[in-house]
């Protein structure tokens, strides 16, 4: 049985791409650069801020000027964190279903706590989720399994009876290493060059509503 559900945040549970892209483009404009289209930025969103900055400015973490740009990007994002961010279409139906089935659900993200908590609060998900594990909650981030193990501790859950749903390879790696069922959210921010079939997840979904079908088939089976 799958008795607990864990979601990645950006690109799986919540569509945050527009707010993140807008913040990135504000910094580009301040630097005299043209705005990048959303479709160009979106595939990097689930890879984190460093990947977005590398895309937009060609800078890596230890390059000169990286910290200045990162701080400006995150500052603008934090001040506009839930202007356009919403649950993915159909996700409200999924949450209602698992809540009706008394299946506790949680969030495990690499997003830092100081950004995760305001976003979750703005969307009033803090009143519904049973646990929130951010990128700085434990010593390690995904793809390390530690955040997922900690989420199970908070939920008093057995990893073998838990499913983790994400849209990045590191999500699936973390879930597999934690001994969980894993599901790829193909509707998320997956780069066209990525090969999700090589991630060896237990399944894929093309829309949030398909999560209900997966849970139903698994638990009935």
Q: Which residues are catalytic?
A: 8, 10
Residue 161, SS3? helix
Dig out the tokens for 147 from the structure.
Answer: 């955040």
Please state, in angstroms and rounded to a whole number, the distance separating the CA atoms of residues 128 and 111.
19
Q: What is the maximum span of the chain, computed from C-alpha positions, in angstroms?
A: 57
Return the residue matching tokens 């549970």: 13
* CB-based burial label for 36 (10 Å; 0-12, 13-18, 19+): middle
Please state, in angstroms and rounded to a whole number, the distance separating the CA atoms of residues 52 and 94.
29
Q: How far apart are the first and last CA of the chain?
A: 9
Q: H or E element: which one contains 97? A: helix 91-100
Please state, in angstroms and rounded to a whole number, the distance separating the CA atoms of residues 121 and 124.
5
Residue 182, SS3? strand
Please state, in angstroms and rounded to a whole number, the distance separating the CA atoms of residues 168 and 189.
8
């Amino acid at each position: 049985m799958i008795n607990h559900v864990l979601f990645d945040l950006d690109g799986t549970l919540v569509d945050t791409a527009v707010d993140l892209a807008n913040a990135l483009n504000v910094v580009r404009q301040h630097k005299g650069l043209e705005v990048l289209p959303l479709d160009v930025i979106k595939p990097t969103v689930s890879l984190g801020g460093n990947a977005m900055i590398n895309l937009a400015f060609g800078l890596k973490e230890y390059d000169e000027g990286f910290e200045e740009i990162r701080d400006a990007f995150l500052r603008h994002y934090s001040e506009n964190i839930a202007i356009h961010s919403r649950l993915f279409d159909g996700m409200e139906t999924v949450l209602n279903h698992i809540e009706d089935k008394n299946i506790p659900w949680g969030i495990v993200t690499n997003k830092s706590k100081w950004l995760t908590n305001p976003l979750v609060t703005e969307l009033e998900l803090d009143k519904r989720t049973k646990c929130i594990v951010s990128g700085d909650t434990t010593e390690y981030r995904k793809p390390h399994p530690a955040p997922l193990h900690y989420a199970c501790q908070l939920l008093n859950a057995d990893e073998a009876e838990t499913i983790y749903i994400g849209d990045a390879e590191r999500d699936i790696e973390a879930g597999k290493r934690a001994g969980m069922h894993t599901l790829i959210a193909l509707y998320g921010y997956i780069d066209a060059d990525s090969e999700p079939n090589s991630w060896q997840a237990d399944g894929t979904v093309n829309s949030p509503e398909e999560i209900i079908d997966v849970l139903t088939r698994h638990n009935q089976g």
